[in-house]
Amino acid sequence: MNRPGSRLRLFYIHSPADLPNDPVRFGEQPVVGVNNELIGTAEKLLVNGTDISFFNLVPLALDAGALCIPSHIDRPM
């Protein structure tokens, strides 16, 4: 889980919808490495929610060095 790609795969697996991104409608979804280098582009639409619980997501985000700002956590899926 230390590579950015493996973290992205985790969210791919836990995303309830399997929709492709439409860059014209939603914009590009760049995958950026720890040194701000472009690694690739996420092809799956990432604007959807995930089935990872808030309590499991926060440690994953902190372990990745991310800032976690919860939003819409009380909204049903």
pLDDT in tens, 52-64: 888 888 888 888 7
- Give the global pTM: 0.54
pLDDT in tens, 18-52: 788 899 999 998 887 778 888 888 888 878 777 88
Domain residue extents for the chain: 4-63
**How does DSSP assign 7-56, residue by residue?**
HHHHHHHH-S---B--HHHH---EEE-TTS-EEEE--B--SS--SS-HHH
* Predicted pLDDT of residue 8: 63
